[in-house]
Structure 1
Amino acid sequence: MAFDRSGPRRPETAAAELDAYLREFRAGGYPVAQVVHAACARCGGSEFGVRVDDEAGYADRTCHSCGDRWVMLDAADAADAADAADAADAAEDIDLGDAACLCGGERFDVAVGFALRGDGEVRWVSVSLRCTADGGLGVYADWKIDYSPSGQLMARV
């Protein structure tokens, strides 16, 4: 699929491009069974700033419309450590970084690809971003899910 990076941002195009990109990426080498797109629960916004730590399996997003911050997927247990990483007494086990596109853009459409096990539980997650400035796509974090039940993660994008 050719990705259209010209003209104004069109959310329907962004969603289709993220879906195709995640399916081609193959979360953890496994086929992506489902893609879930992020939307702000407070205002419905769809452009976010994103912080990640791929090693710790952490991602959060902040809505550019209303400023609401959401800890994604199963990173809630790392949220306390992430908050400490923002303070002067930084936690050693988490290294948060602001996601940025090669063009310098820091506003993104966000989607997560889910690879599933045979029993329908989540095997792997991949956090993909599409830059709203130039349409650039990338997977900024992905990690293995090795516990059950895990289906609730699809509601935590």
Structure 2
Amino acid sequence: MAISKNATSWYGDNDEDLATYLQQFRAGGYPVTRVRRLSCTLCGNATFLSLVDDDQGVAAVDCLECGARTLVADSAEHLDDAQLEGCACPCGGETFTVSVGYAVTSDNEVRWISVGLRCLNDGALGVYTDWKIDYTPSARLCPPS
């Protein structure tokens, strides 16, 4: 199934649908040119509880298998000032697959990051936080394509 939309939400069946959704989102008006699906660096699991602070530009995911926390992009640099809040789908679901979209310049510098979630309960897609990267060098934030 491709991405579908009802009156209020977008839905997808898999991580490819989430990647497509992120590419269409265009945070800050910039096209997402790279998408990275997150998986736990300790156990390889790809289902998470997600926490964000949209004001500070911080995102973290907690692995549902082993509990390890992963911080997205430059989140560690802003964590001390963050008030992380758990993400929840409009359906009430709180478990997600997670992909990160990167708007990257022609010289591989990151200008915007978008954190997309796909609810494991109903397949709803959403960008739960995004933030501008206003410094260089920033290429380290995005894995090579």
Map 1:122-133 → 2, pairs under 5 A: 122-133=110-121
Distance 1:132 1:52 in 2: 18
In the other structure, the counterpart of 1:97 is 85
- Rg larger in structure: 1
Question: Is structure 2 residue 94 aligned with structure 1 residue 106?
Answer: yes
- Give the TM-score taking structure 2 as reference length: 0.87
Structure 2: 5+ residue runs without aligned partners? 6-12
Question: Is structure 2 residue 35 aligned with structure 1 residue 26?
Answer: no
Distance 1:19 1:58 in 2: 20
Query: 1:131, CA displacement in angstroms?
Result: 0.3
Query: 1:97, CA displacement in angstroms?
Result: 1.0
Which string of whole-angstrom CA distances, capped at 9 and with x for unpartnered residues, describes residues 68-111 of structure 1?
011111011123x2xxxxxxxxxxx4332100001111100000
Tell me if the contact between 1:27 and 1:113 (Cα under 8 Å) persists in the aligned partners.
Answer: no
Tell me if the contact between 1:114 and 1:125 (Cα under 8 Å) persists in the aligned partners.
Answer: yes
How many residue pairs are counted as aligned between the two chains? 136
Distance 2:83 2:68 in 1: 21
Query: 1:149, CA displacement in angstroms?
Result: 1.5
Distance 1:71 1:32 in 2: 20
Query: 1:3, CA displacement in angstroms?
Result: 2.4
- The list of structure 1 runs, each at least 4 consecutive aligned residues, that deviate by more than 6 angstroms after superposition, is none
Secondary structure, counterpart of 2:59 in structure 1? strand
Secondary structure, counterpart of 2:97 in structure 1? strand
Question: Is structure 2 residue 53 aligned with structure 1 residue 65?
Answer: no
Which residue identity does 1:38 align to in structure 2? Answer: L
Query: 1:4, CA displacement in angstroms?
Result: 6.6
Tell me if the contact between 1:53 and 1:96 (Cα under 8 Å) persists in the aligned partners.
Answer: yes
**Structure whose residues are more often strand by fraction:** 2
In the other structure, the counterpart of 2:109 is 121
Structure 1: 5+ residue runs without aligned partners? 6-12, 82-92
Percent of matched pairs sharing the same residue: 49
- Give the TM-score taking structure 1 as reference length: 0.81
In the other structure, the counterpart of 1:141 is 129
Tell me if the contact between 1:4 and 1:135 (Cα under 8 Å) persists in the aligned partners.
Answer: no
